[in-house]
Amino acid sequence: MNNRRVVVTGIGALTPIGNNLQDYWDNLIKGVSGAASITHFNAENFKTQFACEVKDFVATDFLERKESRKLDLFSQYALVVAKQAIEDSFLNTNEINPDRSGVIWGSGIGGMKTFFSESVNYGTGNGTPRFNPFFIPKLISDIPAGHISIKYNFRGPNFTTVSACASSTNALIDAFNYIKWNKADIFIAGGSEACIFEPGIGGFNAMMALSTRNNDPKTASRPFDKNRDGFVMGEGSGALILEEYKHAKKRGAKIYAEVVGSGLTADAHHITAPHPEGLGAKNVMKLAVEEAGITPSEVDYINVHGTSTPLGDIAETKAIKSLFGEHAYNLNISSTKSMTGHLLGAAGVIETIACVMAVKNNIIPPTINHETKDPEIDENLNLTLNKAEERTVNYALSNTFGFGGHNASILVKKHIE
């Protein structure tokens, strides 16, 4: 049982810089920003008037109209990427054991848009309680996992992880573990989020967490830059087909990469601020490296949480230096949130996809929008500033950290036949 290996055999991506895997990856490498003025609602009275929205998404291009009306936007996104991942994996769902096939999904907030809309409708009415019969099924965070399992007849483990911005990395890690533990052979795992509307923007504005660079949205997400002033809200979804290695080989599946390590820790420090020395971040990366059975010096790339917040970026670089020592200066570091914005509960999966593609293609996506060095961030670290870099990538690590002090790291390895 302990020898069961886990590989990635399919990918789906719906992001602010591409509505499929290839467009997403191409735009990451080009350094394209997904930030622009908000179109989902009139944001003229908000402190932040821009975000990284998914572009040109029409639900009925992918779902039947009747079906789409029963789904919150975050569930629509989930079903789209699940379909992409299934198709990309060339998985014939009629030829696998449904009882050994599961779905684990992640979402930090779930159907907040539905809750807001229904509350507004009630509040502006005459007090008569008229609610959509699909109000609760549209709202609950676990519903994408349910819809995906029903659609593909996956009758194995089925649940949703909620750990704020670490949610979808948590989902991937749980799927990785369930396969290793011989509880299942295959998973659709990932996450989705859709919070670019009044309470989402207003709530994070009230926390002073969002950038307010309204005059230049495209450069607002600027991790590690001295003049960073908060994160940029993103939305979208990502999915991976995680599969036991022999199961994948038996059906002749293509393999993108192997998942070899994971870590889960807590800061136990503050509800929103990171541990100032990055203690939880250091510990979670250490666990992932140890589980993979490698030394820290073998890691080539870290896709950092890197939200472009004043405290978070400093704490994470401290954690990297503490764990990796001198090797911290040999590896590549980048924050793809500089392009996608912060997808909250879906951030981890799209950033893990970036790591998978980095090990497959030997290219490091950049950290864009960097202009001014921050004296509190070691300038000798290779933060892959403003331009992608080619290098051999055998191991890549993805970090995601969530409000509440939740930390999750997942480590992927190049697959060589």
User: Considering 342, 355, 370, 406, which one is annotated as catalytic?
Assistant: 342
Q: Which two tokens stand for residue 205?
A: 């504005």
Backbone CA torsion sign across 268, 274, 276, 279: positive
Q: What angle do CA 311, 314, 318 make, to 5 degrees?
A: 135
Backbone CA torsion sign across 44, 48, 53, 55: positive
- What is the spatial distance between Cα 149 and Cα 64, in angstroms, rounded to a whole number? 18
Which uninterrupted H or E stretch holds 414?
Answer: strand 406-414
* Alpha-carbon separation of residue 122 from 27, 119, 330 (angstroms): 42, 5, 57
342 in catalytic set? yes
Question: Residue 8 burial (CB < 10 Å; 0-12/13-18/19+)?
Answer: buried
- Kindly report the backbone phi and psi dihedral angles of residue 124, in degrees, each rounded to the nearest multiple of 5, phi listed first: -95, 5
247 in catalytic set? no
Question: Residue 205 burial (CB < 10 Å; 0-12/13-18/19+)?
Answer: middle
User: Considering 165, 195, 247, 370, which one is annotated as catalytic?
Assistant: 165
Q: Which two tokens stand for residue 247?
A: 């199961």
User: Considering 40, 147, 247, 305, which one is annotated as catalytic?
Assistant: 305
Q: DSSP of 294-331, one letter per residue?
A: --GGG--EEE----S-HHHHHHHHHHHHHHHGGGGGTS
165 in catalytic set? yes
Of 402, 304, 345, 335, the C-alpha closest to 78 is 345
- Kindly report the backbone phi and psi dihedral angles of residue 196, in degrees, each rounded to the nearest multiple of 5, phi listed first: -85, 80
Give residues with Cβ within 8 angstroms of 83, minimum separation 6: 12, 62
Catalytic residues: 165, 305, 342
